[in-house]
Amino acid sequence: MRRGTCAAQGGAKGVTLKFSLRLVARRDLPSKKLDLEKRATGKVRSVAAKIQSRRERPTRRQVDLTRAAVDWYLARYYATKEDPGVASMFLDRDRVGAFAVDRDALERGDDGALFRLLIATTMFQRRQDVQILRILRGMRPADVAEVTDARTLLRLVEQGGCARMRTNAELIADCDLAKDPRTRLGCCAFAPTRPCHLKRHTVALKRYGHFGKVPTSAALALREAGVDGLSALYRLVLSSVRSPQERARILEERLSVIWRVSSKIACMFLSALTNPDLCEWAPPWTRGIDWTHFVVIDSNVDAFLASIGYRGRGTYEARRVFLQAVAREIDLSALDRRLHRYNPRLVQQALYLFMSATNRRSLSQDCSREGVRACRACPRSLRTRCALRQRAGSPGDSKLPAGAPAVPFSRLTRSVVHQR
């Protein structure tokens, strides 16, 4: 009887155990399915990443086309007075008016010269360079002096007493500076009747309604970084960070907290202070900084990338990495002994200027002024990408063309520009 009872009990336990195992197995099914889905998703992502990586690796053809543009730039514009967007342009009063900085002051890293250069650089966005240069030349010296003096700007903040510009974060998020559509004067809804230096600045700078915040934002950002000027910021980064690459990244990051300062503007400013091949003198911040990090990517560079079949991601970093990879394949020192072997900023400068029809039309030494003869001397692979290409018998075969770009903005170019 005991044996039977024990057997029955044992059998019941066995059935219960099997039933429990089945329940556990059923409960595990969703988690196993989820694991399989995760693994599958991981594999798909891995394959997609590999494909994307291949797309962002330059081909031999892309390198050759870029080298041709670099050859054109070195022959036509490099180290000349007309080369736009490099440090020497900001020394020339005929080009930038009262924003011009003194070469000796810039070379020794004077804070006043550095801040003036920064404010002038921020102007070069969303408009053609020739238009920005016209605005810079047209500004009154007194207005330029005020918007390019960090100490004066901080004093104006204290005197104004506005709760919406006590800090850079408040200025960016809360200040509703604009331009009155009727009078074109500066205005705001928070304190419409209160006089404010931001309202004056947005009129003087002749840009968007909220652009008057830029100089004050720069001054506040420096104060909140715990430094009394840009040279002190440079020294702080040198002393607190060991890697030249990381120093370059942090400098770009610190400047990008300023209102309307993007990676493009930060790199344009920093390359003027660090790149030894785009300065006629020793740049003040070259020491200890990886200056090859600073690449200026605008719509002209995007247009060239589209023309050579760039299929990578549209992020600024992805395009920077691609241009750096292309530049590694071009030995610049073999093309010009004055140059470093690797300089992605110079390579990018060549692409920018080659594709910039408005800049080239305004420059006296551009090859487009030589008519068809110059186009015939250019490699076919390059001239088919030229925005100022001329053909025999066309209205512009002996003078500046009025024509449209030979390479239209492709769907890829538009998508890249929109992601900037």
Write out pLDDT tens, residues 195-218. Answer: 999 999 999 999 999 999 999 999
92 and 66 housed in the same domain: no
273 and 177 housed in the same domain: yes
250 and 366 housed in the same domain: no
User: Does the pLDDT of residue 138 top 90, yes or no?
Assistant: yes
160 and 307 housed in the same domain: no
End position of a domain, from candidates 250, 278, 306 = 278
**If 0-12 CB within 10 Å is exposed, 13-18 middle and 19+ buried, where does residue 404 land?**
exposed
Lowest-confidence segment of 58-62, 190-194, 300-304, 375-379 by average pLDDT: 375-379
Question: Which DSSP string corresponds to 338-388?
Answer: TS-S--HHHHHHHHHHHH-HHHHHT-TT-GGGGTHHHHHHS-HHHHTT-TT
The arithmetic mean of pLDDT across residues 145-166, rounded, is 97
215 and 306 housed in the same domain: no
pLDDT of residue 53: 59
126 and 270 housed in the same domain: yes
274 and 134 housed in the same domain: yes
Write out pLDDT tens, residues 37-47. Answer: 677 666 656 65
Within-domain flag for 36: no
116 and 252 housed in the same domain: yes
Lowest-confidence segment of 224-228, 367-371, 398-402 by average pLDDT: 398-402
Q: Tokens 């969703």 belong to which residue?
A: 30
330 and 391 housed in the same domain: yes
183 and 60 housed in the same domain: no
255 and 127 housed in the same domain: yes
pLDDT of residue 8: 46
Is this structure's pTM higher than 0.85? no
Domains: count for the chain: 2
End position of a domain, from candidates 278, 309, 333 = 278
102 and 64 housed in the same domain: no
- Taking the C-alpha atoms of residue 123 and residue 26, their distance in angstroms, rounded to an integer, is 65
For 360, the domain range is 56-77+295-418
Write out pLDDT tens, residues 70-88. Answer: 999 999 999 999 999 999 9
Residue 121 to residues 144, 215, 255, 387, Cα–Cα distance (Å): 13, 11, 12, 25
Within-domain flag for 318: yes
